[in-house]
């Protein structure tokens, strides 16, 4: 299931040990018949046409409520999946290892690249130099005049709530810069509350 071009160890080595090999990816990200399973949870794999049409429809018809719906859906999905993975792989103990695992999962699921630049239990700063939703939006609709990575914001909130042992809804995530606006990177600021 993992694309051969993905370096499973990218940035995830501790004393020469590849942390990512602790994960049995054939089990955690597998295909069973027509279903794709991430850590026991069935996931839907969609192309950018579906994802961006869903995104645009929600914004066009519901405005900020539609964007928030995308946020909470992504938040809840990764919150449950990441907690399940952490419960199964107790050797991944440190916060840094969990953050690096989160980046790897984001990449392995084809969502893009995220770097937790400065992060702690009270929040921090995250950048994304590349993402599925940015590429998809620009291909279909071109530059936009406000940030649009609602899925990524929710995903970041959910995975950090799982890592820091917080309930969903604990973090707000604001996107300060967005590649959909032709900024150099997407930049996310995370805060409590």
Chain centre to alpha carbon of residue 79: 10
What are the angstrom distances between the C-alpha of 89 and each of 16, 21, 44, 169, 182? 19, 11, 24, 25, 39
Q: Does 111 bind Zn ion (CB under 5 A)?
A: no
Alpha helices in the chain (DSSP H): 25-28, 48-62, 64-88, 95-108, 132-141, 150-163
Distance CA 4, CA 8 (A): 9
Stretch that binds Zn ion, among 75-83, 88-96, 110-118, 179-187 (CB under 5 A): 179-187
Q: Are 137 and 180 in contact (CB under 8 A)?
A: yes
Stretch that binds Zn ion, among 34-42, 46-54, 88-96, 176-184 (CB under 5 A): 176-184
Site string for Zn ion, 139-168 (x = CB under 5 A): ----------x-------------------
Q: Does 190 bind Zn ion (CB under 5 A)?
A: no
Stretch that binds Zn ion, among 59-67, 69-77, 163-171, 182-190 (CB under 5 A): 182-190
In the complex, minimum distance from the CB of residue 52 to Zn ion, in angstroms, rounded to a whole number: 13
Pick from 159, 186, 188, 190 the residue near Zn ion by CB under 5 A. Answer: 186
Q: Which stretches of the chain bind Zn ion, using CB under 5 A?
A: 149, 178, 186
């Amino acid at each position: 299931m993992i694309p051969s071009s993905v370096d499973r160890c990218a940035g995830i080595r501790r004393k020469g040990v590849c942390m990512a090999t602790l994960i049995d990816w054939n089990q955690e990200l597998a295909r069973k018949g027509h279903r794709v399973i991430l850590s026991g949870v069935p996931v839907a794999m969609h192309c950018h046409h579906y994802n961006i049409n869903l995104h645009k429809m929600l914004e066009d018809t519901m405005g900020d409520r539609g964007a928030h719906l995308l946020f909470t859906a992504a938040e809840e999905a990764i919150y449950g999946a990441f907690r399940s993975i952490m419960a199964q792989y107790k050797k991944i103990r440190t916060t840094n290892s969990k953050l690096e695992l989160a980046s790897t999962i984001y990449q392995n699921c084809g969502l893009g690249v995220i770097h937790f630049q400065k992060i702690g239990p009270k929040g921090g700063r995250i950048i994304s130099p590349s993402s599925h939703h940015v590429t998809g939006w620009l291909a279909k609709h071109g530059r936009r005049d406000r940030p649009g990575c609602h899925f990524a914001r929710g995903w970041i909130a959910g995975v950090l709530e799982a890592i820091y042992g917080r309930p969903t809804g604990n973090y707000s995530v604001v996107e300060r810069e967005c590649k959909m606006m032709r900024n150099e990177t997407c930049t996310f600021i995370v805060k409590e509350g």
